[in-house]
């Protein structure tokens, strides 16, 4: 029989799905941290044309951005334990599934972050580095004090859209059995056979999360613009 | 005192410097003239290791280094004894005027912040920008930015300041004030200064010696009077004729 959407059921589902947000946020935060860290290393290797690392970064980037994230998720989930078993004789089979999701999304977004950071770093005028050298700063001091703050400011919009994109991408984590928002939805759906209400409920949470994050990021951007470059502040 | 000996530099097959020797005493201002492409800017950039010279020696007071053997430590030592004023200012865009001046003192020389702030404030006062401590570069005019850059240079109390066409990116009406500031600070401090410029009046007023560069060598050197009124070399005469078409000078 054809079922219409039951709005009351949507409201009933909301609190049941809610705990899934924790796992989703957990994945987003840790995967972003991993992605940003690896991405920064790759970007520095590429900007400074570090031999070998530079070429590896290019290949890595084209693989990560050229394959669907679900494929990468499966490769990490099934492949990583095999790899560890074979080469290090370490058994990962009992490790929590969410760790694999974090690694997969971390690596996946690192490729995007490396492009964002590469653009941001090479966008800082070369004169800034020369001026830093001329007042006696070392390369590392120049990076930390002058180049990185400027690059970070221009990377922020990219970071923001990458994090928000990741929220939506995490909806694939349920495919290996992680109970995030979509995992909860699956549970409700198979228990009640009312999938549509559960999906609507998920949509509400995803929209809410991305709206909130967008707000946070634009607030951070405003603060940094005035702190880092004095934009918007009085002379 | 700063001395460059026999500096050579090529970019690929293009020989830009073909054995340049320059010596500047403390309190002296050397002006380097020359057509574009003659190697003036490259000479300054080599001195500060922004470019690596292929050959030659550098002496700053008691510190001596060979260009092609210089280690990272030597390079840092040279940079901490010299200061550079760039054509397009290159103020740190993420820092206020005061922080720009303090950066080299605090980060490079590990000076306590309070002390650095005092020195930076005094330096900004010298260039007439006491009221602009908290202004970011984009809130300052070109002339003000270049004055902050000059303050950043003198605050370091370097043995030598290198000015690379400090006024050529400025609006014409701002050139005068900037040159005045340079004049004042280089005469005040007992520093050896090397100025690459196209401002002939500045050269004749301030320079202790004028070097004319052509095709990677010093073609002629002398006091401003000698160079501007009695140039010996044909290429100096030609250059001056191009630069000063309306001024009469005697040959």
Instruction: Assess if residue B118 is contained within a domain.
Output: no
> What are the tens digits of pLDDT across the range B158-198?
999 999 999 888 888 888 888 888 888 887 778 899 999 88
> Number of Cβ pairs closer than 8 Å across A and B?
80
Q: Mark out chain B residues that contact chain A at CB-CB < 8 A.
A: 48-50, 76, 79-80, 82-84, 86, 88, 90-96, 103-104, 107-109, 132, 134-136, 138-139, 152, 156
Report angle CA B182, B211, A127 to the nearest 5 degrees.
Answer: 50
Mean pLDDT of B19-32: 91
| Among A4-8, A153-157, B21-25, B130-134, the least confident range | A4-8
Reduce the DSSP state of residue A1 to 3 states and report it.
coil
Q: Which residues of A touch B (CB under 8 A)?
A: 125, 127-128, 130-138, 141, 145-146, 149-150, 153, 228-231, 233, 235
Whole-angstrom distance, CA of residue B55 vs CA of residue B78: 16
Could you say which of B49, B136, B156 has the minimum Cβ distance to residue A135? B156
Q: What is the 3-state secondary structure (H, E, C) of chain B?
A: CEEEEEEEEEECCEEEEEEEEEEECCCCEEEEEECCCCCHHHHHHHHCCCCCCCEEEEEECCEEEEHHHCCHHHHHHHHHHEEEECCCCCCCCCCCHHHHHHHHHHHHCCCCHHHHHHHHHHHHHHCCCHHHCCCCHHHCCHHHHHHHHHHHHHHCCCCEEEEECCCCCCCHHHHHHHHHHHHHHHHHCCCEEEEECCCHHHHHHHCCEEEEEECCEEEEEECHHHHHHCCCCHHHHHHHHHHCCCCCCCC
Residues 6+ positions from B195 with CB-CB distance below 8 Å: B29, B30, B31, B32, B163, B166, B182, B186, B202, B203, B206, B207
Q: Which of B90, B94, B96 sits opposite A127 (nearest CB)?
A: B90
For residue B135, which residues of chain A lie inside 8 Å, CB to CB?
Answer: 230, 235
Distance CA A167, CA A24 (A): 7
Q: How far is A222 from chain B (nearest CA, A)?
A: 14
Cβ <8 Å between A145 and B107: yes
Residue B216 lies in a domain: yes
Whether B151 maps to a domain, the answer reads no
pLDDT of residue A91: 81
Distance from CA of A163 to the nearest CA of B (A): 25
Range of the domain at B45: 2-90+159-243
> What are the distances in angstroms from CA A43 to CA A84, A129, A154?
27, 17, 14
pLDDT of residue A235: 46
Summarised one tens digit per residue, pLDDT across range A203-218 is 999 999 999 999 999 9
Closest CB to B139 among A136, A137, A230: A230
Residue B105 within any structural domain of the chain: no
Residues in CB range of B105: below 8 A, 6 or more apart: B111, B115, B116, B119, B120, B155, B156
pLDDT tens profile A26-72:
999 999 999 999 999 999 999 888 899 999 999 999 999 899 999 99
**What CATH number should be reported for the domain whose range is A21-180?**
1.10.3720.10
| Pairing of β B55-60 and β B63-66 | antiparallel
Nearest residue on chain B to A152, alpha-carbon basis: B94
pLDDT score at A1? 45
* Pairing of the two strands B2-11 and B55-60: antiparallel
Q: Are strands B209-214 and B217-222 parallel, antiparallel or unpaired?
A: antiparallel
What is the H or E stretch that residue A131 is in? helix A126-134
- Decide: A74 and A2 in contact? Cβ < 8 Å: no
Q: How far is B132 from chain A (nearest CA, A)?
A: 8
Specify if B130 maps to a domain.
no
Closest-CA residue of A relative to B74 is A136
Q: How far is Cα B26 from Cα B160, in angstroms, rounded to an integer?
A: 8
Looking up residue B214, the CATH number of its domain turns out to be: 3.40.50.300
Q: What is the pLDDT of residue B238?
A: 87
Q: Check CB contact under 8 Å for A229 and B91.
A: no
Q: Which of A35, A66, A70, A41 is nearest to A54 (CA)?
A: A41
What is the mean pLDDT of the segment spanning B47-64?
92
Minimum Cα–Cα distance from A234: chain B residue: B135
The answer to whether residue B237 sits within a structural domain is yes
Number of domains composing chain B: 1
Judged by CB atoms closer than 8 Å, whether chains meet at B108 and A128 is answered as no
* B106 within some domain: no
CA distance B90 to B45: 14
Closest Cα to residue B1, out of B77, B83, B61?
Answer: B61
Q: Is A136 helix (H, G, I), strand (E, B) or coil?
A: coil
Q: Do A136 and B80 touch (CB under 8 A)?
A: yes
- Smallest CA–CA distance, residue A53 to chain B, in Å, is 23
Positions of chain A with pLDDT under 70 = 1-3, 232-235
Decide if B82 is inside a domain. yes
**B104: which strand partners?**
none
- Look at residue B99 in the predicted model and tell me its pLDDT: 95
């Amino acid at each position: 029989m054809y079922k219409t959407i039951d709005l009351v059921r949507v409201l009933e589902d909301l609190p049941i799905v809610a705990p899934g947000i924790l796992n989703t946020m957990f994945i987003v935060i840790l995967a972003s941290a991993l992605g940003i860290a690896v991405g920064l290393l790759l970007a520095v290797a590429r900007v400074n044309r570090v031999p070998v690392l530079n070429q590896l970064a290019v290949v890595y980037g084209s693989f990560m951005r050229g394959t669907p994230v679900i494929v990468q998720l499966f490769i990490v989930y099934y492949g990583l334990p095999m790899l560890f078993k074979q080469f290090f004789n370490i058994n990962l089979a009992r490790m929590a599934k969410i760790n694999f999701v974090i690694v997969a999304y971390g690596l996946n977004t690192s490729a995007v972050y490396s492009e964002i950071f590469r653009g941001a770093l090479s966008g800082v005028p070369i004169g800034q580095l020369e001026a830093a050298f001329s007042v006696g700063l070392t390369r590392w001091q120049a990076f930390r004090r002058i180049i990185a703050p400027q690059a970070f400011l221009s990377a922020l919009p990219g970071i923001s859209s990458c994090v928000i994109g990741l929220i939506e991408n995490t909806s694939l984590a349920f495919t290996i059995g992680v109970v995030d928002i979509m995992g909860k939805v699956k549970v409700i759906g198979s228990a009640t056979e009312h999938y549509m209400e559960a999906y609507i409920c998920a949509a509400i949470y995803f929209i809410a999360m991305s709206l909130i994050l967008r707000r946070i990021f634009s607030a951070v951007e405003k603060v940094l613009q005035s702190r880092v470059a004095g934009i918007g502040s009085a002379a | 005192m700063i001395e460059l000996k026999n500096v050579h530099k090529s970019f690929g097959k293009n020989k830009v410097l073909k054995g340049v020797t320059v010596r500047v005493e403390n309190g002296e201002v050397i002006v380097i003239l020359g057509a574009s492409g003659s190697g003036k800017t490259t000479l300054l950039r080599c001195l500060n290791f922004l470019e690596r010279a292929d050959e030659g020696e550098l002496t700053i007071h008691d510190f001596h280094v060979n260009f092609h053997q210089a280690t990272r430590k030597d390079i840092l030592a040279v940079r901490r004894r010299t200061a550079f004023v760039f054509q397009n200012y290159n103020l740190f865009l993420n820092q206020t005027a005061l922080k720009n001046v303090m950066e080299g003192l605090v980060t490079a020389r590990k000076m306590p912040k309070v002390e650095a702030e005092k020195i930076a404030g005094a330096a900004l006062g010298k260039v007439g920008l006491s009221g602009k401590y908290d202004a970011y570069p984009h809130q300052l005019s070109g002339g003000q930015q270049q004055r902050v850059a000059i303050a950043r240079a003198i605050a370091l109390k370097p043995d030598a300041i290198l000015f690379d066409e400090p006024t050529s990116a400025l609006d014409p009406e701002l050139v005068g004030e900037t040159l005045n500031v340079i004049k004042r600070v280089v005469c005040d401090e007992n520093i050896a200064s090397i100025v690459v410029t196209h401002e002939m009046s500045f050269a004749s007023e301030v320079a202790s010696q004028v070097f004319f560069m052509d095709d990677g060598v010093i073609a002629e050197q002398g006091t401003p009077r000698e160079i501007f009124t009695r140039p010996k070399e044909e290429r100096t005469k030609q250059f001056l004729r191009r630069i000063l078409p309306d001024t009469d000078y005697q040959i």
